[in-house]
């Protein structure tokens, strides 16, 4: 049996197994197996066909945003609207066949926006150009999942499943579990909170499935078996995702309202240029970038030349070791958006 068949067998078994106390170990085990096979599937194949086919687009600017979506949802139309790059848009599916980069200039930052071919169900297993598209998505700082507002919610959950299956975790933080494989001593298990989804026994079972018999495990959060498997497997990416419903010019106001209220979602129309400013604001928030401006003694700040930092960065990250005035701050001082700093030499 090939890996794909094994995966589908396990998926079927999970689907037909009722979720309850009596089946939790069985399900945990199945999930561990599933994660293992998927990892095997993702290992780069050594065959000639996979060579040189990736979309090697240079990272540039301060951040990278990948446009992921089914064919013809309007990804290329969006890129052409927001950047000075033109990407061919047409009413037929799979118009775009490679990765096309553009740049959004916003608040002094250069945000690289990547238009990509449409992906479909089965993308993770290599349907269409799915694998290459997903490989690019992994390198992004934020994923914009573009959806056709007229098409219902199926596309969204299908794409979420595709990304999920290759270890991309959307709008989730890394599970707060300390995990350290050891040379000996068996498995030591502890938790600082009450666990409602995992137990010591289940944790052991899962570890054994991965042939790990000595390890230190500390749950600092009420995590699920899937979260724990993610920690063991490693190699997961935790990424903010903005769901963008395009083509709202085609649906009723009630429907627009419903979609706009969904979490992490923005509604737009590329065709009628609706709500694009708001989308940019949201994108900025998701990128969590901070602009600071420098000023020289006795001169006005230069607002045309910002230094872009990740949110939470401190003065040290600006790359200096001097002191500041008029409000003196230490090197660990966290910079806030649109702060102005003056560097004073002693
Ligand atoms: N009504 C309406 N049509 C739109 C809107 N945005 C894009 N379109 C149309 O949707 C079709 C597909 O647009 P594309 O930009 O080619 O879509 P894509 O997602 O890049 O498609 P692929 O590259 O094939 O994956 C085109 O005919 C666009 O004119 C919109 O806001 N409203
Ligand atoms: K298209
Ligand atoms: Mg396109």
Nearest by Cα to 94 from 120, 112, 113: 120
Residue 252 has φ and ψ, to the nearest 5°, of -75, 160
CATH fold for domain 49-172+237-286? Rossmann fold (3.40.50)
Q: What is the DSSP letter of 123?
A: G
User: Is residue 104 helix, strand or coil?
Assistant: strand
User: Bridge-partner residues for 120, per DSSP?
Assistant: none
ipTM exceeding the 0.95 mark: yes
State the pTM of this model: 0.78
Q: What is the DSSP letter of 177?
A: E
Query: What tokens does 78 get?
Result: 């969006």
| CB of residue 276 inside a 6 A radius of ligand 1 | no
| CB of residue 9 inside a 6 A radius of ligand 1 | no
Query: What string of pLDDT tens digits covers the 346 residues of the chain?
Result: 777 788 889 989 999 999 898 999 999 999 888 888 877 665 544 443 444 456 778 888 889 999 999 999 999 999 999 999 999 998 888 888 889 999 999 988 899 999 999 988 887 776 777 888 888 999 999 999 999 999 978 899 999 998 998 889 999 999 999 999 999 999 999 999 999 999 999 999 999 999 999 999 999 999 999 999 999 999 899 999 999 999 999 999 999 999 999 999 999 999 999 999 999 999 999 998 666 667 777 777 776 666 766 666 666 665 544 445 456 776 677 777 777 777 665 5
**What span, in angstroms and rounded, lies between the C-alpha atoms of 166 and 42?**
7
Nearest protein CA to atom 10 of ligand 1, as residue: 74
User: Bridge-partner residues for 187, per DSSP?
Assistant: 215
Domain range summary for the chain, segments of one domain joined by +: 3-43+175-233, 49-172+237-286, 289-342
Nearest protein CA to atom 27 of ligand 1, as residue: 91
| CB of residue 77 inside a 6 A radius of ligand 1 | yes
| CB of residue 90 inside a 6 A radius of ligand 1 | yes
Residue 312 has φ and ψ, to the nearest 5°, of 95, -5
Looking at all shown ligands, the one closest to residue 246's CA atom is 1
**Residue indicated by tokens 């627009």:** 256
**What span, in angstroms and rounded, lies between the C-alpha atoms of 234 and 114?**
26
Nearest by Cα to 29 from 224, 154, 205: 205
* Angle of helix 200-209 versus helix 24-42 axis, rounded to 10: 30
Nearest-atom number in ligand 1 for the CA of 274 is: 31
pLDDT at 59: 86
CATH fold for domain 289-342? Ubiquitin-like (UB roll) (3.10.20)
**What span, in angstroms and rounded, lies between the C-alpha atoms of 171 and 162?**
15
pLDDT at 49: 42
| CB of residue 344 inside a 6 A radius of ligand 1 | no
């Amino acid at each position: 049996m090939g890996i794909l068949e094994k995966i589908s067998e396990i998926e079927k078994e999970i689907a037909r197994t009722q979720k309850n106390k009596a089946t939790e170990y069985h399900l945990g085990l199945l999930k561990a197996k599933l994660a293992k096979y998927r990892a095997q599937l993702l290992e780069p194949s050594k065959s000639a066909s996979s060579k040189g086919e990736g979309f090697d687009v240079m990272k540039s600017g301060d951040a990278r945003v990948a446009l992921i979506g089914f064919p013809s949802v309007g990804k290329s139309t969006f890129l052409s609207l927001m950047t000075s790059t033109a990407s061919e848009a047409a009413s037929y599916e799979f118009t775009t066949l490679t990765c096309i980069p553009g740049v959004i200039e916003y608040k002094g930052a250069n945000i690289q926006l990547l238009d990509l071919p449409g992906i479909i169900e089965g993308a993770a297993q290599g349907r269409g150009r799915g694998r290459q598209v997903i490989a690019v998505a992994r390198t992004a700082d934020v994923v914009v999942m573009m959806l056709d507002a007229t098409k219902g919610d199926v596309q969204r959950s299908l794409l979420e499943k595709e990304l999920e299956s290759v270890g991309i975790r959307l709008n989730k933080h890394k599970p707060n579990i300390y995990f350290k494989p050891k040379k000996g001593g068996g498995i030591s298990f502890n938790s600082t909170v009450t666990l409602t989804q995992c137990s010591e026994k289940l944790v052991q079972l899962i570890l054994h499935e991965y042939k790990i018999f000595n390890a230190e495990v500390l749950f600092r959060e009420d995590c699920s078996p899937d979260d724990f498997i993610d920690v063991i497997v490693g190699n997961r990416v935790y990424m903010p995702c903005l769901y963008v419903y395009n083509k709202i010019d085609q649906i009723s106001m009630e429907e627009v309202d419903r979609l706009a209220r969904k979490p992490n979602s923005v509604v737009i129309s590329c065709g009628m240029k609706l709500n694009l400013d708001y989308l940019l604001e949201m994108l900025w928030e998701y990128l969590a970038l901070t602009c600071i401006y420098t000023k020289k003694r006795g001169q006005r700040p230069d607002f045309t030349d910002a230094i872009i930092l990740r949110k939470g960065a401190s003065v040290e990250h600006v790359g200096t070791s001097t002191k500041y005035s008029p409000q003196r701050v230490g090197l660990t001082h966290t910079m806030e958006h649109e702060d102005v700093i003056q560097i004073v030499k002693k």
